[in-house]
Amino acid sequence: EVKLVIGNEIEYFDITFYPMYSSKKYYLGKVMVGRNITNRKNIENKYKFLSVHDSLTGLYNRTYYEEEIRRLEHSRNFPVSVFMIDLDNLKTVNDTKGHQQGDVLLIKLAEFLKMVFRAEDMIARIGGDEFIIVLPKTDQAVVDIIQDRIEKEIVKFNINCDINLSFSLGVKTQTEKGDLAKTIKEADDLMYKNKMERKI
C-alpha cells in the first residue's frame, strides 16, 4: 500500500507487481497494477479512530484509558497525577432542555480540557459525564499550577461562551511506580467530596 498526495488530497493505492516473461521464458521485467483504495482506507481509519476515541467529544474513550493506565504503571513516567472531573447538572440539562443541549455541554467541556492541559496528557471521557486526565511526569507543584490555570481559564471561557460550564474536580498524585487504582479512586473520592461541598 502507498499513500500519495494528489491535488492536495491524500489518496491510497494498493500496488501489485507481477513478473513478465517472453514465450521462451526470458524475464522481461515487471508489470505494475495499481488500485485506488482511498474509500476503504478512510473507512478503516475512521473505525480505528472510533475504537479508541469517544465519538461525541473526540477525546480518548474508556478502552484507551484502561490500556494506557496498564502501560503507564510499568513505565518510568512517575510521578503521575490524576484529575477526575464530573460535569455538573448534565442530567438536569438533558431532562429540561434535551439531550442535544447536554451534548453541547459535553463538547464544550472537552474543548476546555484540551485547552488547559498539555498535549502529552491523556484526556478521556470514561462515563456519561465523567472525565479523567492522566498526567505523566507531573508532581504536586505542577498540579498546583494547573489547578490555578483551570480556575482562571474557566472564568474567561464562560465569558466568551453562550453556555455556562461548571464541573467538580478531584486530583491526586502518585510519586512511586506501581498500581494506579488506589490513586484514581482517591481522586474520584475527592471529586465527589468537591461536588457535595458545592451541593451540585
Question: Which pLDDT tens digit goes with each residue over 124-168?
Answer: 999 999 999 999 999 999 999 999 999 999 999 999 888 889 999
Residue 135 pairs in a beta bridge with 81
CB 121 within 8 A of CB 135: yes
Angle among Cα 160, 163, 167 to the nearest 5 degrees reads 100
CB 50 within 8 A of CB 56: no
Q: How confident is the model at residue 70 (pLDDT cuts 50, 70, 90)?
A: very high
SS3 content of the chain, % helix, strand, coil (to 5): 45, 30, 25
Kindly state the percentage of the chain with pLDDT values over 70. 100
Q: At 44, is the secondary structure helix, strand, or coil?
A: helix
- 127 vs 131: CA distance, rounded Å: 7
Residue 28, pLDDT above cutoff 80? yes
pTM for the model stands at 0.81
Residues annotated as catalytic are: 129
Closest C-alpha to 83, from 195, 197, 183: 183
Residue 171, pLDDT above cutoff 90? yes
Which pLDDT belongs to residue 162? 80
CB 143 within 8 A of CB 81: yes
Angle among Cα 177, 134, 181 to the nearest 5 degrees reads 55
C-alpha cell at 192: 465527589
Which residue has cell 490513586?
183
- 147 vs 169: CA distance, rounded Å: 9
- 33 vs 132: CA distance, rounded Å: 48
